[in-house]
Amino acid sequence: MAEEANFENTIFYLLGPPGVGKLTVGQHLADMTRARLVHNHLWLNPIFSLIEQDGVTPLPKDVWTPVSQVRRAVFETLRTLTPISWNLIFTHAAVGKKNDADMEVANDIIGVAESRGAQLIIVQMTCAAEVLAERVAMPERRLLFKENDVDAARLNALREPFHPGHPDTIAIDTTNLSAKATAHRILLLAEKRRQSGQLLG
């Protein structure tokens, strides 16, 4: 596949547990599709940078109110000001059965796709437990206020993937794939679905 793929007004929604590689894969996808990366820490870090946060200790419940306010501002901008021609890549740290908080984020992302009339491609990313634990332990994650809990990572790897309930979903195990190879795999599968008419948009 060529380094640059021919997608327009397409939204790639990457979800999976912390450490699975969403940001790095998203960066490669952004280069390949000329997309704008909307990483979930775009709305988390303005708040996380102002509190004590070590990547392991549970955060205070009160932190999620200002996080939600920042996220709403980001999504309102995407719905009303971001050019329709742009491809977008969202990341979302989510794993396990549906819950209200993760479904709210998922519905926001799906809502942006619907409001823009965009083609939506959802990617469930998974990884083996020990590999996920190694990735979560990488010290550079703390530069972005990311989770570093290796025990939680092992448990997350055993939980069922989060599914937002949308039909255009691709599942990829990243255990033995580099981030760039994962990005290529996503584009290959997305292109196959597009050519077969399976992507609903």
Specify the pLDDT at position 2. 43
**CATH match for 10-196 among 3.40.50.20, 3.40.50.300, 3.90.1580.10, 1.10.3720.10:** 3.40.50.300
Residue type, 15: L
155-181: per-residue pLDDT in tens? 999 999 999 988 878 999 999 999 999
Specify the pLDDT at position 4. 62
Show the low-confidence residues of the chain (pLDDT under 50).
Answer: 1-2
Candidates 122, 135, 104, 131; CA nearest to 18 is 135
Q: Rounded to 5 degrees, what angle do the CA atoms 169, 173, 174 make?
A: 120
Round to whole Å and give the CA distance between 74 and 69.
9
36-48: per-residue pLDDT in tens? 999 999 999 999 9
Q: Is the dihedral of CA 61, 135, 94, 91 positive or negative?
A: positive
